[in-house]
Amino acid sequence: MPIILIADDNQQITSILEGYAKKEGYQVIVALDGIKALQEFRENKPDLILLDVMMPGIDGFQICREIRRTSNVPIIMVTARGEDYDKIMGLDIGADDYIVKPFSPPEVMARVRAILRRIEREDSGDHHILSLENLVINLEDYTVTINNISISLTKKEFELLWALASHKNKVFSRDNLLDSLWGQDYYGDSRTVDSHIKRLRSKLDVLPHPHWEIKTIWGVGYKFEVKN
């Protein structure tokens, strides 16, 4: 039975989400402040976290950063802060999805199901190491190195790199990447992919890689190009 951690200081919201989650068959843990949320995460190792941003003690952005230091557990931010800046920051620091209040509880559960289904598919597949020229991507521990130097990526940046590099020279449309990595139930747009590609490139370009690049195919999308 998957364990869902719901972290929000609004008890009415946590009660509603808890009720819907239990109907889905999930075990639910509730935290009403940031400190408690981190404590419950460390003690119970949930399978997914629904995380508010504005909470007493520690805010949701800081909680997400702290969790990402040690874990790739899926995080869905559920918050009243709906500006593009907040959404981009939440996704860039490692959130898997971002839902703005007021929300539809069935929609939240649909996104939870989509993420857990994707994880189940990933867990059932073959995990291995991908080596391309001076680039090594390890799907077991989510590490990336160039010339044996570690590159720090967020979970989504890593997944984006893996998706492209494991199908070298294949062109992916923005919508294809959005559906594959964020799920068909995600309601964002292609700008999410573009912003992640931009940040991924900036990190990879710190070190030379003359024989490969993430190339933009104008009007279509992106590909991981390996040069002969």
pLDDT of 33 above 60: yes
Greater confidence (173 vs 85) lies with 173
- List pLDDT tens digits, range 132-147: 889 999 987 889 999 9
Greater confidence (127 vs 89) lies with 89
Asked if the bond preceding 102 is cis, omega within 30° of 0, the reply is yes
pLDDT of 6 above 60: yes
Greater confidence (183 vs 31) lies with 31
The pLDDT assigned to 82 comes to 65
How far apart are alpha carbons 29 and 179 in whole angstroms?
29
Mean pLDDT of 114-122: 77
* CATH level 2 (architecture), domain 3-123: 3-Layer(aba) Sandwich (3.40)
Angle between helices 60-68 and 34-44 in degrees, nearest 10:
30
How far apart are alpha carbons 133 and 155 in whole angstroms?
22
Nearest to 114 by CA among 199, 183, 202: 183
Cα–Cα separations (whole angstroms), residue 35 to 78, 84, 211? 17, 27, 46
The two three-digit tokens of residue 198, written as one number: 């931009």
The domain spans of the chain are 3-123, 126-226
Nearest to 200 by CA among 170, 165, 166: 165
Cα–Cα separations (whole angstroms), residue 193 to 70, 87, 177? 24, 13, 7
How far apart are alpha carbons 190 and 204 in whole angstroms?
21
The two three-digit tokens of residue 107, written as one number: 């929609």
The pLDDT assigned to 121 comes to 63
Percent of the chain surpassing pLDDT 70: 94
The pLDDT assigned to 124 comes to 53
**H helix or E strand, kind and range, residue 99:** strand 97-100
Mean pLDDT of 100-119: 88
pTM of the full predicted structure?
0.60
Q: Which amino acid, 72?
A: N
3-123 and 126-226 in the same fold: no
Q: What's the mean per-residue pLDDT of the chain?
A: 88
3.40.50.10540, 1.10.10.10, 3.90.1150.30, 3.30.365.10: which CATH number matches 126-226? 1.10.10.10
User: Which among 48-52, 70-74, 77-81, 192-196 has the top mean pLDDT?
Assistant: 48-52
In this structure, the strands spanning 27-31 and 3-7 are parallel
